[in-house]
Structure 1
C-alpha cells in the first residue's frame, strides 16, 4: 500500500461555476473605471452635503454663542438689579451674608420683633446676634446694657439722618426730640431719656400712623410667606412696638420690669425706669421714625391698617 493521497478532484459543478465568472481583461478594466467614477461621484455629493453643513454648523455655533452671551449679560444685569433691590429693602443693620439665608433671616428676625425686640434700622447686627443667643427678657436687657454705647451711636445716626432731611416736617421734628432723648441717655440721665422717648413714641404713633394706641396694640401683624420684603420690614418695625403698649393696671398689677408706655407715664418707679428700658424706648423711637421717613420717601401708606387680620 502506498501513503500517497489521490489528487483532489474538482467537482464538475464547481469547475463550471468558476469558468462561468471568468472575465476578459477589457471588461475588468471597464468595471474598475466605472467603480472609480461612482466613488468619485459619491465623494463629490458627500462634499456638497458635508462641507456646507460644517460651514453652517460653525455659523449656527457663532450665533448660539452670541445669543448665550446676550442671555448671560441679561441675567447678570437682572441679578445685579435683584441684589440692589434686596440691599435697598433689607434693614441696613442686618448682615446679608448670614448663613441662614434671606428667608430664614427674615423669619428669625420677625419672630424676635413679635417679642418686642427692635430689629429694623437699629441696633447693629452684632447686638442683634447677641440678643438672638439669649433665653429670656432678663438676658436680653443685660445685652442692651452691655452694648449701651453702640446702641446709642446707632440710634443717633438713624435719627440724625431723619432730622437733617427734607422729609415730612412732623417726622423731622420728632427726630429732633428723639435726639434729645439720645443725648440724655448719653449723659447717663436714663430716666429722662426713657420718659422723653416714650412720649415721642406715642406722638409718632398718633401723628405718623394715624392710629390710637389700642388700635396699634391690637393690630394683627403676622408672618406672611407671600409678603414683599418692604411689607415685612415695615411689619417688623411696627410689631416690635406692640409689647410696650400692652397696658398696665396699677390697682391690679405690680409695676412691670419690661418697658411699658402706661407704666412709664403713670408709675415713676425704679422697677420701670431702668437703663435697659431707656435703651429700648430710644431704639423704638429711632426704628419707627427711620421707617416712617423711608415710607414717606416711597410715598407709601403705613403698613398698619393694611395687615392681614
Structure 2
C-alpha cells in the first residue's frame, strides 16, 4: 500500500485534458489534496509557538501572527500572482467564469494586478475591452516581461520567440500580422498540450472551471484560468455556416477567413495575451511533470 509521502500529485493532463474517468480522478484528487492541505496546514501551524497564558495579549499576538501569516501566504500562492492582493472582487465565481471562459479574456499570469482589477470591475465586455485597449502598451510590456524573465520549459521554448515577434509586431502597429502569428502559436500549443482535435480541445477547455473548489485545492487555478479562454477561441465556424462569423477572437476565422473586420486591435491584443498565458501555463505543467518524475518511487 502506498504511503501518503509516496503518493504523487494527480496527472493534470490526464484529469483535465485527456478524458479519463472523471469521477474516479475527482475522488482521487479530493482525497490526495485533503492530505496535502492537512500537511501544509500542519507545517504552517508548527511555526506557531504555544503562547504562555501569563503573557499579555500583545505578546500572544506577536507569537501567533507569524504562523497565521505563513498560512495566508500559502493560500495566496494558489491564486495567480498577477492578481491583486485584495481578492474580494474575485469572490464571485460566476463573474470569473464569464470573463475568462465566456468572453475569452485571459487573466492568468498577465496582465499586471491593477489592469486585472479594472477588467473584473468593468460592467460588461465592451467596457472590459476598453480597459484593455486603454492599457495596450502596458499589457504588451507585461507579456514581454514574463517571456523574458521566466525560464520557460523546453517543451514550449520553440514558441517563445514567435510569441515575442507577435508582441513586437503589435507594439509596432502591425495588428493583423500580430494576431495571425499569435493565433498560430496558440494553435500549436493547443494541439500539442490539450488535444489534436479542435473539437476535443474545446470540450476539455470547457470543463476546467467546472469545479473551482477542486481546482483551487489542487493548486491548478492558474493553469485552468489560462486554458479556459480556449473555449471561445475554438468556436466552430466555416464560410458555409448558416450563421455569421464570430466577431470575437476566433481561430477559425483568423486562419481560414481572414478579414480586416476580424483582424483588428482588440482581437490582436487578446490573441497575444492568450498566447502568453498559455505559454506560461504549459511551461508550469511541464515543470510539475519533471518534478514528479524526479521523485523517488
TM-score of the aligned structures, taking structure 2 as reference length: 0.69
Shift of 1:285: 0.7
Shift of 1:92: 1.9
In the aligned structure 1, how far is the partner of 2:133 from the partner of 2:220?
30
Name the Cα RMSD after superposition.
2.9
Shift of 1:296: 2.6
Verify: 1:293 aligned to 2:283, yes or no: yes
Partner of 2:135: 147
Alpha carbons 2:234, 2:250 under 8 Å: kept: yes
Of the candidates 141, 144, 158, which is equivalent to residue 146 of structure 2? 158
Please identify, of 230-239 and 105-114, the stretch whose mean Cα deviation from structure 2 is larger.
Answer: 105-114
Please identify, of 254-263 and 211-220, the stretch whose mean Cα deviation from structure 2 is larger.
Answer: 211-220
SS of corresponding position for 1:225: helix
Tell me: CA distance 1:79–1:282, structure 2 relative to 1, closer, same or farther (3 Å). same
Q: Which runs of 5+ in 2 are unaligned?
A: 1-50, 292-297
Partner of 1:32: none
Deviations 1:51-76 (A, max 9, x none): xxxxxxxxxxx96448x999867744
Partner of 1:109: 96
SS of corresponding position for 1:203: helix
SS of corresponding position for 2:155: helix
Max radius of gyration: which structure?
Answer: 1
Partner of 2:190: 205
Shift of 1:256: 2.4
Tell me: CA distance 1:261–1:78, structure 2 relative to 1, closer, same or farther (3 Å). same
TM-score of the aligned structures, taking structure 1 as reference length: 0.66
Tell me: CA distance 1:131–1:216, structure 2 relative to 1, closer, same or farther (3 Å). same
Shift of 1:93: 1.6
Shift of 1:263: 0.2
Shift of 1:289: 0.8
Shift of 1:179: 0.7
Alpha carbons 1:120, 1:236 under 8 Å: kept: yes
In the aligned structure 2, how far is the partner of 1:149 from the partner of 1:196?
18
Tell me: CA distance 1:74–1:242, structure 2 relative to 1, closer, same or farther (3 Å). farther
Verify: 1:91 aligned to 2:80, yes or no: yes
